[in-house]
Chains A and B, each alone.
Chain A
Amino acid sequence: DADVTQTPRNRITKTGKRIMLECSQTKGHDRMYWYRQDPGLGLRLIYYSFDVKDINKGEISDGYSVSRQAQAKFSLSLESAIPNQTALYFCATSGVGDTQYFGPGTRLTVL
């Protein structure tokens, strides 16, 4: 079984809809991250969490919110989706040594 899982893997939604992307990990890591990837750009950090009570905005947090329900779960929400949020979203975790372990990604399309 994969150490970092994301659901859904693909999602098509309409402008204005609320959507939640979920991430779970079995690596026992405290630090979790949400990134988005757009063609020609690197991975950009949306939000990160260093433990259950710690939530921090990243480079591009506008239009997004997160919830850290447990050490193993970190969810990303788009309160009112817009077309320029169409992207590939990755969840990642890290522990000692700072290497990040990525989930399989969620491809989101907002029409």
Chain B
Amino acid sequence: ILNVEQSPQSLHVQEGDSTNFTCSFPSSNFYALHWYRWETAKSPEALFVMTLNGDEKKKGRISATLNTKEGYSYLYIKGSQPEDSATYLCAFLDDYKLSFGAGTTVTVRA
């Protein structure tokens, strides 16, 4: 069982504000880190797959960075909108299996 931790557990953001949150994971034997977005009453959907130290990925207003040497990844939301409200899960890939963090639940207030 790999220890993948996300913080904070939840956060509230005013519409238009930017925010970020963290995923920490084992820094040894790194293969890939995944980010998933999970909206209420839906199933998790992939946002990013990150494999290289220093990787930066972007999808619209959401971006992520990766530091494999120290074992952390940040996910950023710029100019938050109500539709960004969701739980964001990170997952560490090990031997084709994912170990998930508990998620950061983002609520964007209009």
Seen from chain A, the residues whose Cβ lies within 8 Å of a Cβ on chain B are 4, 31, 33, 35, 40-45, 48, 50, 58-59, 90, 94, 97-105
Contacts and interface: CB of A to CB of B under 8 A. Distances in A.
A50 B96 CA distance: 9
Interface residues of B, number: 23
A99 B89 contact: no
Given A97-B49, A98-B32, A98-B49, A42 B89 contact: yes
9 contacts: A33-B97, A35-B100, A42-B91, A42-B99, A42-B100, A42-B102, A50-B96, A103-B43, A104-B43
Given A40-B102, A99-B49, A48 B97 contact: yes
A94 B43 contact: no
> Do most interface residues of chain B lie in helix, strand or loop, or is the interface mixed?
strand
A76 to B, nearest CB: 16
Interface in B27-55: 32, 34, 36, 42-46, 49
Contacts, number: 54
Contacts of A90: 43-44
A31 B46 CA distance: 16
A45 B94 CA distance: 12
B110 interface: no
Interface in B53-110: 89, 91, 93, 96-103
Given A90-B43, A99-B46, A99-B49, A43 B100 contact: yes
B96 A41 contact: no
